[in-house]
Amino acid sequence: MILMHTPALQVIIPLIAAPLCCLLPKSRLAWLFTTLVSFSTFAISVLLVWQVHAVGVIDYEMGNWPAPLGIKYHIDSLSAFILILISAIASITLLGARSIIEQEIPHSKHALFYTAFLLCLTGLLGIVATNDAFNVFVFLEISSLSTYALIAMGRNRKALMAAYEYLIMGTIGATFILIGIGLLYMQTGTLNMFDLHDRMPIIGGFNSVHAGFAFFTVGIFLKLALFPLHQWLPNAYTFAPSAVSVFLAATSTKVALYLLYRVFYTIFGFEFSFSTLHLGAVLLPLSIVAIILSSLIAIFQSDIKRLLAYSSLAQIGYMTLGVSLQTQSGLIASMINLFNHAFIKGALFMCLACIAYSIKTTRFNHMAGIAKTQPWVAAAFVVGGIALIGLPPTAGFISKWYIVLAVLETSWWLAIVVLLTSLLAVIYVWRVVEQMYLREPLDNIQHGTPVPMMLIICTWIMILLSVYFGIDNRFPLRMATMAAEMLMP
């Protein structure tokens, strides 16, 4: 019976677990409960991937109401791909994060922290699983509101201001998406994504549909943190609690990218988005500016979390560069980039969580010589940095390879830009590696708290996954190819 209801169970298991977690008295029990729930979510997403391999697509009607009347959950290869990514990241993060959460967050708020975490997980999974445009908005707001609350629990008082600015900008973005949904509903009378796609040729000429497209674009770019709508991301990632930074960096922008694929390929259709309304002409310059500018700004940061946040902005630029090429290989490159980057960034932020546990700070100057006291953490950061630059045998090399291959189909000077910006990544990764290995350890590092074994193990699990997907690329490549063929026939 579980097999019949997997799409619904994927979303409702964390949803039911959230109020239960709110009622739990002890912090350790809340952590154990949350970790078990996220592992069961991962198990269901594995089941979904297996079912999608066997059947192709899974349709699930909520409340047994048929599709245009009721809400339908539609799992195809793209959805299953992102679902398994999110649940895997959540599980590994929660497995190792108990000690860093207990250190950074006051004890009375632990149960509520895990409740907010489960609600964020519910929202992210719901955005990916659903096939109803308004349901996407509801789950988007569920995940965003929990994210604002999670970020505000950071140690520094700047976390409050970061959460407030993210709230203002995120709500404006989500409301723009709502306006887009409203304008499309006005013209078609339906909210189902496939129904909207079927009716798009009839209404494609109307100004209101073009306005809806523009509203969708701005809203999704804001959630994606694409230049120039990226101002909320550096502060939010830097001042959030370390476990929250790991989870957000690896999942929230990836789900926004999934929303971009769904809206522009499934709802509006490839020809309408890119040929009639020239989305590529908007995406291409913004992606290139995002890559170059963010990599340059990352070099000069004095807080390593901020450096990694700007590096994330650059990687998002690579993903949208793949989309803006308007070819199937560009789309495949974008999806592989999405998958690999989640593990790489998650692993790097987990290294920083270890460092933050040990010396209570992530500032560049205070990290001198930390490789002598925390050799495993520093080694993990080196491997993650190699993956970020894009050297074999890591997953970053595979991502860059596919991007360069896709870019070479259209223009050779773009490939030069991609390779040169990888050199910029070398600069900021080498800065940190030099500070960690080639300097004398300071006092605070000699007397730093020893990092718990579970946190280091989970960091290495993510690092080894990013190396594994650099060597054996079959699973992401197969899922990405199936997804791209379905989105762009």
Partner 1 sequence: MMSLITDLYAYWISVLLMMVGLYIVIDHNNLFKKLIGLNIFQTSVFILFISMGKVDQGTAPILKEGFETFSNPLPHVLILTAIVVSIATTAVGLALVVSINKYYKTINESEIQAIEREEA
Partner 2 sequence: MKKNPILRETSHLLIPAILLFALYVQFHGDYGPGGGFQAGVIFASAIILYALLHGVKRAEQVVSLNLAKTCAACGLLLYAGLGVFGILWGGNYLDFNVLAHDPIHGQHWGILLIELGVGLTVASVVLAIFYAFTKFKK
Decide if 317 contacts 287 (C-beta within 8 A). Answer: yes
Q: Tokens 């020809």 belong to which residue?
A: 271
Between CA 233 and CA 242, with CA 239 as vertex, the angle to 5 degrees is: 105
Q: How many residues does the chain have?
A: 489
Identified binder of partner 1 from the candidate list 59, 61, 102, 141, rule CB under 8 A: 141
DSSP 28-77: HHHHHHHHHHHHHHHHHHHHHHHHHHHHS-EEEEGGG--TTTS-EEEE-H
Token pair for residue 26? 């002890």
Q: Which is nearer to partner 1, 185 or 401 (CB)?
A: 185
Q: Give the contact letters, 360-399, x = binds to partner 1 (CB under 8 A), - = no.
A: ----------------------------------------
| d(C-alpha 229, C-alpha 209), whole Å | 23
| d(C-alpha 321, C-alpha 90), whole Å | 27
Q: Which is nearer to partner 2, 60 or 264 (CB)?
A: 60
Decide if 247 contacts 93 (C-beta within 8 A). Answer: yes
Q: Which is nearer to partner 2, 12 or 454 (CB)?
A: 12
Q: How many CB atoms lie within 10 A of CB 431?
A: 18
Between CA 120 and CA 33, with CA 362 as vertex, the angle to 5 degrees is: 30
20 near partner 2, judged by CB under 8 A: yes
Name the one range near partner 1 by CB under 8 A: 140-148, 397-405, 412-420, 446-454: 140-148
Shortest Å distance, C-beta 353 to partner 1: 24
The listed partner (partner 1, partner 2, none) that binds 179, CB under 5 to 8 Å by sort, is: partner 1
Q: Give the contact letters, 89-128, x = binds to partner 1 (CB under 8 A), - = no.
A: ----------------------------------------
Identified binder of partner 2 from the candidate list 25, 54, 64, 413, rule CB under 8 A: 64
63 near partner 2, judged by CB under 8 A: yes
**Percentages (nearest 5) of helix, strand, coil residues in the chain:** 80, 5, 15
Q: Which is nearer to partner 1, 141 or 198 (CB)?
A: 141
Q: How many CB atoms lie within 10 A of CB 110?
A: 21
| d(C-alpha 337, C-alpha 285), whole Å | 19
Decide if 242 contacts 352 (C-beta within 8 A). Answer: yes
Shortest Å distance, C-beta 221 to partner 1: 16
Residues 150-189 that bind partner 1 (CB under 8 A): 152, 157-158, 160-161, 163-164, 167-168, 171-172, 175, 178-179, 182, 185-186
Identified binder of partner 2 from the candidate list 32, 61, 210, 405, rule CB under 8 A: 61
Applying CB under 8 A, which residues contact partner 2?
1, 5, 8, 12, 15-16, 18-20, 22-23, 60-64
Applying CB under 8 A, which residues contact partner 1?
134, 137-138, 141, 145, 148-149, 152, 157-158, 160-161, 163-164, 167-168, 171-172, 175, 178-179, 182, 185-186, 191
